[in-house]
């Protein structure tokens, strides 16, 4: 199994959560984890880029993988860095990344103000970022005949622009687990937090989500393409 996404696909040992959905799904599918490129706080662009780069570097390994992709929402705008940021975590990657998040980075308020005064629609920007990342990977996986499944770790706002909805609808829902929601939303709804005030899932939350994912994969025969 190949895994990529955000912190919802990583362990949180400081909160005594020593598993995640990818680990639990791999157990249920009787697969070894070849690599996990998930990184906390990162978005769709890094997800798309690092997945494709890894596949091109290791084509023989990629051809044997099932791809688990957790889309972390389009409000995280990733960009490559020249400072080797956290390079030690991903030795197979030469590109390092940081992320501008308008909901998190207070120092970017001036830039946000500039965007809005020039007519930017932040909701559409985030939705387009998510959709383009998934469409790119969908086309890549289909062309390479790599089996995969998508799901949302975080949710974007409801799509209201018909053009954006048109492109969203071209994502194959057969390979998109519960596209109307996210693991984040499910965690909040079912009170499966790793600790009070933290939306990351606890161990039971990861196991439950993985079980539902496994049922979806089996029901839609997603192990092959």
pTM above 0.85, yes or no: yes
Q: Give pLDDT, residue 107.
A: 52
Whether residue 225 lies inside any domain: the answer is no
Whether residue 165 lies inside any domain: the answer is yes
d(CA 118, CA 43): 24
Whether residue 87 lies inside any domain: the answer is yes
Whether residue 224 lies inside any domain: the answer is no
Whether residue 24 lies inside any domain: the answer is yes
Q: Give pLDDT, residue 113.
A: 64
The whole-number mean pLDDT for each consecutive block of 10 residues of the chain, a chain of 225 residues, reads 97 95 98 97 95 98 98 86 92 90 64 67 88 97 98 91 95 97 96 92 98 98 95
Whether residue 124 lies inside any domain: the answer is yes
The CATH number of whichever domain residue 142 belongs to comes to 3.40.50
Q: φ, ψ for residue 117 (rounded to 5)?
A: -70, -15
Q: Give pLDDT, residue 76.
A: 85
Cα separations (Å) of 19 from 35, 67, 103, 138, 203? 15, 18, 27, 27, 6
Whether residue 48 lies inside any domain: the answer is yes
- Return the axis-axis angle of helices 44-57 and 122-144, rounded to nearest 10°: 20
Give the domain extent around 158: 2-219
Domain count, the chain: 1
Whether residue 83 lies inside any domain: the answer is yes
Q: Give pLDDT, residue 109.
A: 64
Burial of 113 (0-12, 13-18, 19+ CB in 10 A): exposed
Q: Give pLDDT, residue 99.
A: 87
Q: Give pLDDT, residue 60.
A: 98
């Amino acid at each position: 199994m190949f895994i990529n996404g955000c912190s919802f696909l990583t362990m949180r040992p400081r909160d005594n959560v020593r598993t995640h959905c990818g680990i639990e799904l791999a157990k249920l599918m009787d697969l070894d984890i070849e690599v996990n490129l998930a990184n906390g706080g990162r978005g769709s662009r890094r997800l798309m880029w690092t997945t494709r780069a890894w596949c091109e570097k290791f084509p023989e390994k990629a051809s044997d993988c099932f791809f688990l992709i957790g889309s972390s929402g389009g409000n995280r705008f990733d960009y490559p860095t020249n400072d080797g940021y956290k390079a030690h975590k991903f030795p197979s990657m030469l590109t390092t990344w940081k992320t501008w998040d308008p909901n998190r980075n207070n120092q970017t308020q001036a830039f946000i103000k500039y965007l809005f005064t020039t007519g930017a629609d932040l909701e559409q920007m985030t939705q387009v970022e998510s959709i383009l990342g998934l469409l790119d990977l969908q086309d890549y996986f289909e062309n390479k005949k790599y089996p995969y499944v998508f799901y949302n770790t975080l949710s974007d706002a409801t799509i209201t622009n018909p053009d954006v909805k048109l492109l969203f609808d071209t994502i194959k829902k057969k390979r998109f687990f519960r596209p109307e929601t996210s693991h984040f939303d499910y965690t909040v709804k079912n009170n499966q937090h790793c600790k009070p005030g933290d939306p990351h899932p606890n161990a039971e939350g990861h196991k439950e989500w993985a079980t539902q994912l496994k049922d979806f994969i089996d029901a839609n025969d997603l192990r092959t393409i």
